Every structure is written in C-alpha cells, then in structure tokens.
Amino acid sequence: MANFCSDNVAGAAPEILQALVEANAGPAAAYGEDAITDRLESRFCEVFETDCKVFPVATGTAANVLCLAAMTPPFGAIYCHRDAHINVDECGAPELYTGGAKLVPLPGEDGRLTAGQLSEVLADSGAGVVHHVQPAAISLTQATEAGTVYRPADVAAIAEVARAHGLGLHMDGARFANALDFLAASPAEATWKAGVDALAFGATKNGCLCAEAVVVFKPELAATLGYRRKRGGHLFSKMRFLSAQLEAYLKDGLWLSLARHANAMAGTMATGLSTVPGAGLVHPVEANEIFARLPRSLREGLHARGFEFYDWPAAGADAVRLVTAFDTRPEDVEAFLAAARELAGPAVAESA
Amino acid sequence: MANFCSDNVAGAAPEILQALVEANAGPAAAYGEDAITDRLESRFCEVFETDCKVFPVATGTAANVLCLAAMTPPFGAIYCHRDAHINVDECGAPELYTGGAKLVPLPGEDGRLTAGQLSEVLADSGAGVVHHVQPAAISLTQATEAGTVYRPADVAAIAEVARAHGLGLHMDGARFANALDFLAASPAEATWKAGVDALAFGATKNGCLCAEAVVVFKPELAATLGYRRKRGGHLFSKMRFLSAQLEAYLKDGLWLSLARHANAMAGTMATGLSTVPGAGLVHPVEANEIFARLPRSLREGLHARGFEFYDWPAAGADAVRLVTAFDTRPEDVEAFLAAARELAGPAVAESA
Amino acid sequence: MANFCSDNVAGAAPEILQALVEANAGPAAAYGEDAITDRLESRFCEVFETDCKVFPVATGTAANVLCLAAMTPPFGAIYCHRDAHINVDECGAPELYTGGAKLVPLPGEDGRLTAGQLSEVLADSGAGVVHHVQPAAISLTQATEAGTVYRPADVAAIAEVARAHGLGLHMDGARFANALDFLAASPAEATWKAGVDALAFGATKNGCLCAEAVVVFKPELAATLGYRRKRGGHLFSKMRFLSAQLEAYLKDGLWLSLARHANAMAGTMATGLSTVPGAGLVHPVEANEIFARLPRSLREGLHARGFEFYDWPAAGADAVRLVTAFDTRPEDVEAFLAAARELAGPAVAESA
Amino acid sequence: MANFCSDNVAGAAPEILQALVEANAGPAAAYGEDAITDRLESRFCEVFETDCKVFPVATGTAANVLCLAAMTPPFGAIYCHRDAHINVDECGAPELYTGGAKLVPLPGEDGRLTAGQLSEVLADSGAGVVHHVQPAAISLTQATEAGTVYRPADVAAIAEVARAHGLGLHMDGARFANALDFLAASPAEATWKAGVDALAFGATKNGCLCAEAVVVFKPELAATLGYRRKRGGHLFSKMRFLSAQLEAYLKDGLWLSLARHANAMAGTMATGLSTVPGAGLVHPVEANEIFARLPRSLREGLHARGFEFYDWPAAGADAVRLVTAFDTRPEDVEAFLAAARELAGPAVAESA
C-alpha cells in the first residue's frame, strides 16, 4: 500500500545494495584506511569541483552535529529556523556535540531564514559581551523542513551576513539532492560558491541504507572532525560499507536521478491535489515534500483506505505531510489522488 | 593475501548480506517502528532467556558508551582495565556520553580485573565524599583486550563487589560470541546470571557490516537509553537494516558458528606457533586473538612475505597481535605457520 | 552621584561585613564543616518553616544552574521566559551544568509565564518521543526580569502544570526578598507551599558581598547537589565566609528590611515619574526595578547630569531601566526626579 | 587549640579584611568594570614583569579548570601527577569544564613529574591517531601535593617537552606564594620565564577569604576565558570584593610575607620532628606542608591531646599531614613538638 509518511520508509536503491555486495570481497583495512574510502574523497572533490574533506557517517544527525561542533564553541550560539531538524528532531544532539551551545530558533516563512532577518538578529546578538552566548554559526536546511529550497543567491546573501559577523555557515543537506534537482544548479553553486562552510550531505533518505557525509569546504574546520567523529562513536570499523554506499550513490549521477524521480512524484502529487476540491498547499512544493491542507473528512477517508501519511498540525489545523521518495510508484500517487477526488466529491460549491 | 590485522578487516557473512537484501522489500516504518526491529527484541529475550531491552546501534563504541552513560552520573567513576577499549581506543567517547565521568584505569594480568583488586580499590574510593568522583560502574571486556576470557564465576565475583558498592556492571562484548564459544556457557550464564547489568553485544567483528546492540538486563537502566541513542546520532532512520543484520546473526546460531570458526583458527595458529623456534605466547589464547612473541627477524620476514598483522609493542618488545575472523581460511593460517617455521629455521638450540 | 544601573553596583550592608569580621576569629573546619555553616541550614529551615537542604554558593548563576542540573537530564527541556536571566545572561551556564539541556524560551507579558500558556506548550512537547528533548523543568524568576512579582497563586497554578507533566519547578530568586516584601507573604507561602522544588535564594544584590544559596525543598533533588557544586568549582574552602554572610542576612529580618527599603525607593521613583511629562512606566513596578519610557531628550539630559542608568531598548524604543537597592538614598531618588521634571519642562501639551 | 589540618582552616589576614571594608565605599560598576578590578591587572603585570591577562575567581578549582579548559579540546589529554588536586580532589571539575577531556595520571616521586618521564609518555601518546585522546596539556602543582617545590629549571625542562609536543603548560599554584618563598625566585622566573602558559594563582589558603586568579601568559589562551568564567558561574557581580582581596594580597609584598611565615612554621615543625624518637619525614619539607611518619601511639596521643591534623594513609601506613598557615602561632608548633616528644618518650633505642 502506498506509504507517504517519509522518505525514510523507503528501502535502498538496488545499485546501492549491489555496491555493498561488491565491497564485501576480501579483506579491507579498517576504520577508513580501505581503498573505497580512499577514493571516495577524490570523488567528492570532483563532484563539488573543489578540494574538500569528507567524513562518512551513518546518520543525518551525526553529520549535522559534527559540522556544528567543528564551528561552534561550547559558549556559542547557532541560529536556525525554529522548525529546523537540529532544533526539534535531534533530541539535543547539537548541544551534546558542541558541549552545550545554544540554538537560537528563528521564525521564517516557508521554512526559510533570510539575510535581512539574520542581519537584524545579529546586530543585537551580544557579541563580545561575556554575559551572552556568542554568535558562532548559522544553519540552513536544504531542502527546508517546509519542502522549499533556498536559491543560491539566498544562501550567498546569508553567507555574507555570516562572514560579516565571523560565523560559520552550515547546511543540513538531508535532502540535498532533491534541492539540487529543483535548482538545476551544480553542487558547487549550491554550497561553497554560495558560502557554505560545511555540508551534511544526505544520502540515506534518497536511496542508501545508512550513509551520509560531512563535507567540509573550509579546511581549518576539518582539523578536529576525525576526533569528534570517533568520540561520537561514528567511525565505522568496516568503513568500506559506508563508503561503498556513497560511491555508488555518486556514480553516474545516480543520486540526482533518484532525486529527480522523487521530485517528479511530488510535483504530480501537488498538481493533482490542486484539482481536489477543498485541498490546498501550505507551502510551495519545491522538492519531495508536500505540505497540504486536506479537510478532516478527506484525511480520515484516505487513512481509512490505507494510505499512510502524517497529519501535520504544526503546519495548520488541517495540514498533512506527504513525502515521496526515489522509489515512489506513479500508480501509488495516482491512486492517492483518485481516492482523494472520490472522497472529496464533486466540487459543488465552486465558490469555496 | 592473509590478513591477521584485525577481525575488522573481514567483510560480512553472506547470510548477513542476504538479510539486507531481503529487508529491502517494500516500505517499512522508520526509526525502529518496523516489523524486523519489533521482533528483534523478542529474539534477544529468547537468546538470553530473560526479559531484556535491546537498542541496536552501528558501532561498538556507541554500544559501550550508551551503556556507561545509563549507569554513570557526570561525577561518576568507571573502573576498567587500563588497556580497555573504552579507556584507550574510543577517543574519549565515554567522557562525552557520560557528561565527563572519569575512567579509573587499573592494571590486571592477561587483560583481566579481579574481584579482589576491585574490592581493595573500592574500599578507598572516596564514596560519599564530595571532593571525589563517585564510584558508579565497573566495565569488563569479554573477550578481553588480551584475548582472554572471563569465566562466569569471575564475573559473578566482580558483580558481587559491584553490588556491594552500588555500582553498575557493564560488559564490552565486542567479541562476546568468541568468548561464549570458549566458555561453552549460555548467553545468560555469561551475562545477567553472573550479574552483568548491560551488555554491548558485538556483531560487527564477527560477520556483520555494522551492527551492535545495547542489551540491558536491569530495566531501570533502559529508561533513558532511547533518548541517549537519539541524542548521540545513533538512531537509524532506516533501522530495519541494522535489525536485519542482528536478526540474521542470531538465526540458527549463526553467530556462534562464526565465532567457533574464528576461535578454531586462533587455536590452530597458537598451537602452530608453539612449534616455531623462538616464538611464544604472551597471553593464553582463549578467543580469536593471539598475542605472541616473535623475534624481529621472524616478524620482518613474515611482513616481507606479505602477511599482514600488527607489531604490538605494548605487549612486550617482540610482541605481535594476530587476529582471526569468521572467514579466516585454514590455508592462510597454515601458510603463515609454514612461513614462520621456514623463517625461524631449525630449532637448533632445543634447550631454549 | 546617583547610580541606578543595577542593585549589583551597591556594596555590602554593614551588618554583613561585620559578620565577616566576626567569622574570622580562630580556625574553622574547611569546606562547610564549620560551625556557622552547620547552623545555617537549621536557620533556613526555620525561615522556610520546613525541612530543606541548603547549599551556599557565591553567584546567582551558580545557584540557578545547580538547581536546574539537579532536575534536568542532558536530554531535557527547561521552559522559561525568553527574557529569563538563565536564557540570556548566563552565557550558556545552564547548558554546561545540565550537560546540554535545551532552554525553551517563551513569551510572556510583564516578564511572567502563565499556567495556561505552559499547559498549552506542554500538551505539544513531544514527551516520550525520542526525537525530542524531554520536558524536565519550568523556571520562574522572582521578582521577574520585568520587575514584576508572581503571586503565590500564580506559582501554584504553574506548579500544578509542572506536576501534571512530571516537571520540576525552579525559582530564580535573585530578587526574592524584594518579591517577598511586595507580596507580604511568608517565604514558605512564596515557595514550597506554592509548589517550588528548588530556589536559587539571592542575597548578593540585596546587601551581601557574594552569597546565594541553593535551597531544595524536595529532598531527592539534593542527592547530587554536593557533587555538582564541587564539580562546578563552587564549594568554598573557607566556607564560613559565605555562610556568615547568609547568617547575618537572615538575622533579625535584615534581609527583609533591606528589600523593603529598596522597594520603597522604587515606589518613590515610580510615583515620581508619573508626574514627569512624557515619562511612563513599561511594566508595573512591584519590586526594585523600574522600567520606564523616557523621551530621548530626557534620557540624554539625565545622563549628562551624571545620573547613571541603562537605556533598555529591549523594553521599547525609549525604555530605560532604573534599579534601586538596599542603600539607595532618598535624596538621590529625589534629585533624579527633580532633574527629570526640570528637563521635561512644564507639561504644556497636556494632550500628549 | 592548634589546628594543622589544612591552611584552609585559617581565616583571613587582617589586611585582606580591611581591604573589603574599604572597597565597600560607594557604588561600583558590576561584573569587573570597577576601578579596583581595572587596576588589578596592571598590578599583576608588574608583579609578573610581563603582559598577562588576569581573571579573578573565588576558588582554586575554578582557577585550575578554567586554565585547563582554555588549553584542552574535549578530546584532549591532560598529563598530571596521580595525586594532583585536579585528578583526585575536584570531583571531575576538569572533565566538566573541558567538555570531557581525559586526565592521564602519572606516578612521580615526592609529588613531582619529570621532563624525562613526560617525554617518554608523550612519545607513545597516540598523537594524530583518531582512536586516542590527543595530548593537550601538562599540569604541575606548585608547591606539589607532597609539599615539595619544582625548581624553575625543572619546570623549564618540562615546558620544553610540552612545546615539543604542542602542549600547554598549566601550573596549579594553590600554594604558589609558599613555593616562591622557598625558591627565592621571582614570580616571573617561576612561571612564564620557565615556560608556564597559565597559572592558577592561589590566594585563599594564604590569607584571603576567597580569592584566586587565572593568570594567562599566552595571550591567545585568554580569548575564551571571559566566556568560560561566566558560563561556569564564576563571574562575580560585585567583583570589587574579589579584586580588593587580591589587591591587598599583592600590596607591599603581603603575600610573600604571609607565605614566609607559614613556611618558617613548617620548617620549625620539620626540624622539631627530627628530634622526636620514631618520627620521620615522608617527603622533603619545602613549603608549608609536612608529611611525616608518626607511630600510631604518637598519633593517637596527639589527637587525644586535642591537636588537629589528618592521618594520611595514602603517604604510608604511619603517615600524617601537618599544614601550617600564615597565622600559625609559633607556640602552637612548639606545643605540638613538646607533646610529641613527651609522648614518644626518651629515645631509648638510639640505634633505631
């Protein structure tokens, strides 16, 4: 049955599983000294068209908080959207890894922060005053928790504010491939060229079993990361199995193909919902998440027919979240839409 | 070529990989709400013949430090062997996860602590005095870092000391299956029946890609573990892929078969070395690690012929460590021994 | 010249200094084993009419964060007003002492949280869900950062919410004596009888040199405090000098007399400002802080004449903060008011 | 009655108390913006004949751990004597303030580490290997916990090792004045000229009520200290009362006079004990602590007569610790010695 709860309910892409099988041949040095891991960093450098340092880990939370820990002292402040995963869905992991830094949650339409807002907040941030935590980093989610995407120009404007105040710029790229597909920008344009210092490069949601990478564009930030990763328990002994996932993910643009499909499915869903009486979008659909308003009868009817998705009251009284993935089947989207239309009935009251 | 550097250089057992492929079918709820994870805890309860709580993670360090964090306040002291993995090979992970507890490293022959020693140390531990960190936990490694194995009676005696002083008892079971095979004891006898409160159940070294489990025998210790795991970045979104490894590992005694083979290979190696002139054992060989003394010429000759293993000066001037694994081939052990004998030359001075 | 910057600019009351001199006679056991400290806890028990545990420290930040650490796990959430001292003026001390808990800043008129608001927030707090930090404590400031005072009934209503959700209730009593004077309530009524679990009992601002106390009404919260205080570096070797301040502070109601004076001076100031054309109050004046609106010309004129006080833009464009203390001289208040009236000129345009 | 338990049982020198009284006149800016604090740093610069940064705090633990936190990352290792105060008497404060660094306890005769020993330990420290905590700092106590004193040449040799490995050098100067008096060296010679990076300058034990200072000789180490002090709850609002103690302490060489007296009393005690049959010294007496062996009957007799001191089994079966202070009365030392001689009886067996 169709499951739109999360891209985390998807399994792994066959190419990724196949890479695990291949990586299994023969002995390999442990803890990242193997051949696959060795060539992985070069591969990332090619993909991002720059020298970067790469630290594979298995979870997005790990990737995020290692980035943040590298750029934030224990008495630091990290500015993020109030709905940011790091703020609400990581059970305090950033605080653990930074040694107690403070996340400063900010509002922002459609899940986005803006340069103007940050500039204003930072003008009154208490920098240099010992009573206050010290501004240290800005964190952006790409695509955002609202399913929208920062344009490179948005990121660049925020990066300029970050630089002006001596802050690091972190990007939580849990759905980075989906964002890239929407932007039709290069990985470089979406990150370091726009001023991103460290990226939590997500791969799990988009077809891996468990693979993410800390990608560091500012070399000095990398100095402590190896220790921090190990200390967090995130250095894999049989690292080849993490690296093999990432290698296959990047090979021949697989990652972008997978994201393209997920985004296309989300587009179909969004377009389709516009024809369902009573339904509407909460946020623009720019990646693979749809935040929609569905009347209660419609939500209940769809749940009753076995469609799986989350009601999402945080986005409004009637809101739901629908997430598509690399393996979402067009027929499941169509079935959902057909059921929605049927449950909604004819759009009698056009005036609504 | 034969690689005896570590059981971490081994890949994954075919059954484990196959389980991943099978787990990949269809959507599954994320973050451990899936069917495989659901039945995994029951499986552990059967294997350990008791109600226990199970938290799959991907690394041994994570498993260890989550156990320790559950039983140690920030101002606590953890007593361990000075060579313990938690003390020397985890880059301070226990300190991170406990919020700054102190590891108290103790000496101990063949990698083992004793009840008598701990009793003496704890008699003078400063319990109840605010100036001193407070005794909170004892940590044992099974099999030990010296390749030896605690007998259940040893563990029980230590557990009695722990109980008398109100301490938790943690077992780092990175090579738990190897220890069990040696002991010919049941999992229950080797753990909770002997007084172990929480076990870091190792599976990666013995045939998984990346799978360990925190197994908690004292229910109250489990209360905070879910939060601590998430906060450490160790809760997998696609948890089924961790759980599937563990399920296959436990199925039909696979874990014990794999360990039996590794131990048998270690036994062959140890026995064989006893016939190599100039060679000798540093510690009794009870699991799948051999700590041996090999004269420098012998070590160099073996390295030159392509045998991979670590010189281990911490165990003595001429010491080496040889580790066998579930997939170690008998012919590689034989080749190693043959080369060693050849390099050692005839045992001229039999009197030595 | 008159200084209304803070009650921290005041020195110490003569009785407190005298107590130091007297405490200096002869040797005394260190680290709180002295006679003065010994009898201090009994004294607090009398004053608060209950068994309580008392831990003297030297700063309000220390007192606050020790309380919070005793009731909050590292993965906990602490609900507080967004202007709370613990949130904005302690450079992340709560995060340090709790091991990385998260402060959840909430809005609230006149510096106060309400039971209704907290009830609503806690209904959606993610309790029991591993992705989210877990509700652990509510922190109230008494008197608040806006110079207002919680009524015992307000506190009791909030305490009921806290209990219903299993949270601890902390009171930052940096200006506790000032609040008590306003309430004309007993220490017991304002704290444990209203449901407060732990009080940071302030004394420094109200006439001590450096003396505060953690006062714990819930015995189980006291168990770890001795260790946490020592570990924070807040256990004084010559403890008698802290305890002597507190003893003198409590003797013969000195603390309440001092606060009464400070409050009376604030009342005079507030009343006087109401007669100054263009001036107005931002918050009700209930303790010893006045938040007022003064036109820029008035502010500048007063500064130019040497009156010291802070412009307080956080409370509005024209806002200032004036703080009175136990030693504020009536003639200084009068001088300030006279100058203000003179600078404001006759209230020509009554319509304004 | 004579109390030789600790220099912490002494009160405050009259000059120090008088300085508090004087500092109390009039308002003063809070949090270290006052005039006394302002001139204090200059005073330290004069005393130490160099530019240094000074952060007054109230406890030795705070001073120590702030120094260590400034020079040690969370994944760092701090090398210290196994009897060091930071290792055994601060309830894990270094771990709290560093975010979980590891103290590596080392043996050492008479309480001292040596350059040779440290050089050897650091040669095998795992620097650069992610599995191991990274060497970050060496901590020396001056005078040591054994009552001995490092010569400037000893410190310089250790500093050279520290520099060679990129480590910071911390000095716990809880009894720094006593050490200086013994050395007849200048403050500069005993610290930065010998390579010390940061000093926990003790004053409490030697005549203050509660005053210590972090003195930083390497400017870059000072950058984070203001935040760390505040975050630890160690920034005093009425800072003038800390600074006034330190100012009076340094004035006209008071600190050295006080220490000279304490040392002289210790010398008298040590010399006297040499004439007591059966008594002997455990360590050379170089400052104001005497570690002596006294037969049980002697110890019990002295306790019975009301002399207060600690039996010190850590230093040997019959060991005691006697500490003199700035206010120790010669007649109390003489009384102690007289009683000891009387209790010991005539030295019948001179051959012993």
> Residue by residue, what is the 3-state secondary structure of chain D?
CCECCCHHHCCCCHHHHHHHHHHCCCCCCCCCCCHHHHHHHHHHHHHHCCCCEEEEECCHHHHHHHHHHHHCCCCEEEEEECCCHHHHCCCCHHHHHHCCCEEEEECCHHHCCCHHHHHHHHHCCCCCCCCCCEEEEEEEECCCCCCCCCCHHHHHHHHHHHHHCCCEEEEEECCHHHHHHHHCCCHHHHCHHHCCCEEEEECCCCCCCCCEEEEECCHHHHCCHHHHHHHCCCCCCCCHHHHHHHHHHHHHHHHHHHHHHHHHHHHHHHHHHCCCCCCEECCCCCCCEEEEECCHHHHHHHHHCCCECEECHHHCCCEEEEECCCCCCHHHHHHHHHHHHHHHCCCCCCCC
Contact call for D102 and B92, based on CB within 8 A: yes
- The average pLDDT across D149-159 equals 98
Residues of B with Cβ-Cβ distance to D88 under 8 angstroms = 126, 131-132
pLDDT over 70, % of chain D: 98
What is the spatial distance between Cα D236 and Cα B325, in angstroms, rounded to a whole number?
60
Nearest Cβ partner for A234 among B59, B231, B308: B59
Those chains having 3 or more beta-carbon pairs within 8 angstroms of chain B are: A, C, D
Chain A 171-190, residues with CB within 8 Å of chain B CB atoms: none
Q: Is the pLDDT of residue A208 over 70?
A: yes
Q: Tell me the pLDDT band of C347, cut-offs 50, 70 and 90.
A: low
What is the spatial distance between Cα B314 and Cα C320, in angstroms, rounded to a whole number?
67
In a mutational test of the D interface, the residue from A65, A227, A231 whose CB has the highest number of chain D CBs within 10 Å is A227
Contact call for C74 and A91, based on CB within 8 A: no
Which chain C residue has the Cα nearest residue D15? C21
The runs of H, that is alpha helices, within A235-329 are 240-250, 254-273, 296-304
What is the spatial distance between Cα D107 and Cα A146, in angstroms, rounded to a whole number?
58
Q: Tens digit of pLDDT for each residue in C79-100?
A: 999 999 999 999 999 999 999 9
For C246-256, letters b (16+ CB in 10 Å) and e give bbbbbeeebbb
What is the spatial distance between Cα B304 and Cα A348, in angstroms, rounded to a whole number?
85
Q: How far is CA D330 from the centre of its chain?
A: 23
Residue A193: CB atoms within 10 Å: 19
Contact call for A133 and C75, based on CB within 8 A: no
Residues of B with Cβ-Cβ distance to D90 under 8 angstroms = 131
Q: Tens digit of pLDDT for each residue in D273-291?
A: 999 999 999 999 999 999 9
How many angstroms away from the CA of C133 is the closest CA of chain A?
A: 4
3-state secondary structure of C129: coil
Contact call for C231 and D31, based on CB within 8 A: no
Full pLDDT tens readout for chain B, 352 residues: 699 999 999 999 999 999 999 999 999 999 999 999 999 999 999 999 999 999 999 999 999 999 999 999 999 999 999 999 999 999 999 999 999 999 999 999 999 999 999 999 999 999 999 999 999 999 999 999 999 999 999 999 999 999 999 999 999 999 999 999 999 999 999 999 999 999 999 999 999 999 999 999 999 999 999 999 999 999 999 999 999 999 999 999 999 999 999 999 999 999 999 999 999 999 999 999 999 999 999 999 999 999 999 999 999 999 999 999 999 999 999 999 999 999 998 755 444 3
Residues of A with Cβ-Cβ distance to C99 under 8 angstroms = 96, 100
- The average pLDDT across A184-190 equals 97
Percent helix / strand / coil, chain B, rounded to 5: 45, 15, 40
Which chain B residue has the Cα nearest residue A20? B17
- The average pLDDT across A307-315 equals 95
Nearest Cβ partner for A58 among B20, B30, B58: B58
Q: Is the pLDDT of residue D349 over 60?
A: no
In a mutational test of the B interface, the residue from C231, C236, C239 whose CB has the highest number of chain B CBs within 10 Å is C231
pLDDT at A352: 39
Residues of D with Cβ-Cβ distance to B92 under 8 angstroms = 74-75, 100-102, 133
What is the spatial distance between Cα C186 and Cα C351, in angstroms, rounded to a whole number?
44
Nearest Cβ partner for D6 among C30, C240, C242: C30
Q: Any idea of the CA torsion for A10, A11, A15, A18, to the nearest 10 degrees?
A: 180
pLDDT at C346: 73
Computed over every residue of chain A, the mean pLDDT equals 96
Contact call for D227 and A31, based on CB within 8 A: no
How many angstroms away from the CA of A314 is the closest CA of chain C?
A: 10
Q: Tell me the pLDDT band of C352, cut-offs 50, 70 and 90.
A: very low
Q: Is the CB of residue C24 less than 8 Å away from at least one CB of chain D? A: yes
Residue D164: CB atoms within 10 Å: 11
- Count contacts between C and D (CB, < 8 Å): 151
Q: Is the CB of residue D130 less than 8 Å away from at least one CB of chain A? A: yes
- The average pLDDT across C17-39 equals 96
Q: Tens digit of pLDDT for each residue in A93-125?
A: 999 999 999 999 999 999 999 999 999 999 999
Residues of C with Cβ-Cβ distance to B53 under 8 angstroms = none
Q: Tens digit of pLDDT for each residue in C64-76?
A: 999 999 999 999 9
How many angstroms away from the CA of A47 is the closest CA of chain B?
A: 26
Q: Tens digit of pLDDT for each residue in A116-157?
A: 999 999 999 999 999 999 999 999 999 999 999 999 999 999
Residues of B with Cβ-Cβ distance to C230 under 8 angstroms = 75, 130-131
Chain D 237-276, residues with CB within 8 Å of chain C CB atoms: 237-238, 240-242
In a mutational test of the D interface, the residue from A68, A72, A102, A130 whose CB has the highest number of chain D CBs within 10 Å is A130
Q: Is the CB of residue C23 less than 8 Å away from at least one CB of chain D? A: yes
Contact call for C31 and D8, based on CB within 8 A: yes
Nearest Cβ partner for A102 among C89, C92, C133: C92
pLDDT at A351: 42
What is the reported pTM?
A: 0.97
Q: Is the CB of residue B88 less than 8 Å away from at least one CB of chain D? A: yes
- Count contacts between B and C (CB, < 8 Å): 41
pLDDT at D1: 61
pLDDT at C351: 43
- The average pLDDT across C275-294 equals 97
Q: Is the CB of residue D8 less than 8 Å away from at least one CB of chain C? A: yes
Nearest Cβ partner for B132 among D74, D88, D99: D88
Q: Is the pLDDT of residue A349 over 70?
A: no
Computed over every residue of chain D, the mean pLDDT equals 96
Residue D57's beta-bridge partner residues? Answer: D212
Q: Is the pLDDT of residue A42 over 50?
A: yes
Which chain A residue has the Cα nearest residue B16? A21
Contact call for A74 and C96, based on CB within 8 A: yes
pLDDT at A1: 61
Locate C230 and state its tokens.
């020592």
pLDDT at B346: 72
pLDDT at C149: 98
